[in-house]
Amino acid sequence: MTTNVLAGQVALITGGGRGLGRAFALGLAKAGMSVAVVARTPAQVDETAQIIRDSGGQAQAFTADISNPGAVAETIAMVERTLGPIDLLVNNAGASGPLGPSWEADPNDWWNCLEVNLRGTFLCCHAVLPGMIARGRGRIVNVASGAGTLAIPYMSAYVTSKSAVIRFTETLAAEVRQHGVQVFSIEPGTVRTEMAEKLIGTEVGRRWLPWFESIFAEGRDQSSEPGTQLVVFLASGAGDRLSGRFWIVPENPNEVASRAEDILRDDLYVLRVRRL
């Protein structure tokens, strides 16, 4: 059913050259969507697009820095000329930021993490939303992290950026709901991506986040499949009732969607300050 719903629609995935972004692109293409793969490294996006085409799907590769407003606007225009109006935007491109005490971090490195994770997400939303609003339909999936709901020492840039993405998602969803557009943030699970390998395999990662490696050693990590299934599920419209909410792997999205009334009544899956 999902394949029929998504057939002929267009998806744009940032950070689509490798890891989760590539998995999302392949999953959406398999579900019938034409896919625009965007990242900074030409060889990687070309490879992702070629894998999709070799499997019988439709995909085009685009090289862009999503923290650059001009590059984002130009890329969105090129995608729409090439593949057509964008039905789904997946903001997946991300940076881990510097590790260590905040007062020892290089300010430029710290801010660059927000430039990619938050500004990049905003810029892509800013570029696709006029078209979505004009058409009265569209969906956006912002890849956040459970780190955005916690205070994780020595990872302040990443935590701050992902918290902001979750809150931006809820705010944006409230703004565009009347226009037929839905926005979601997701936690795709802890997956052995290049970013994860960096945290595990470097001295700075082992020093400041020594607990992180145990997630993989104890088998508490996820494959990319549950996150991909979640993105396809949200793309299909099955989760529209819970636009603005934070969806979490490994929870079953069908079960979460079936509890929409309870979630809305109790204000669940959102960031809130609990008061006395």
Catalytic residue check, 158: yes
* pLDDT at position 194 over 80: no
* pLDDT at position 124 over 50: yes
Contact 148, 163 (CB under 8 A): yes
Q: What is the pLDDT of residues 7-16, one digit of tens each?
A: 999 999 999 9
Of 122, 154, 158, 184, the active-site residue reads 158
Q: Residue 1: what pLDDT? A: 43
Q: Residue 2: what pLDDT? A: 53
Q: What is the pLDDT of residues 52-73, one digit of tens each?
A: 999 999 999 999 999 999 999 9
> For the stretch 14-48, what's the b/e string if a residue is b when 16 or more beta carbons lie within 10 angstroms of its beta carbon?
bbbbbbbbbbbbbbbbbbbbbbbbbbbeeebbbbb
Which is more confident, 204 or 120? 120
Q: Rounded distance, CA 206 to CA 208, Å?
A: 6
Percent of the chain at pLDDT above 90?
86
Contact 159, 152 (CB under 8 A): yes
Q: What is the mean pLDDT of residues 175-183?
A: 98
Q: What is the pLDDT of residues 144-155, one digit of tens each?
A: 999 999 999 999
Going edge to edge, which strands form the sheet with 34-39?
A: 59-63, 34-39, 10-14, 88-91, 138-143, 181-187, 246-248
Q: Residue 263: what pLDDT? A: 98
* pLDDT at position 25 over 60: yes
Of how many residues is the chain composed?
276
Sign of CA dihedral 111, 113, 116, 122: negative
Q: Rounded distance, CA 102 to CA 172, Å?
A: 29
Contact 20, 189 (CB under 8 A): no
* pLDDT at position 3 over 70: no
Which is more confident, 104 or 215? 104
Mean of per-residue pLDDT scores for the chain = 95
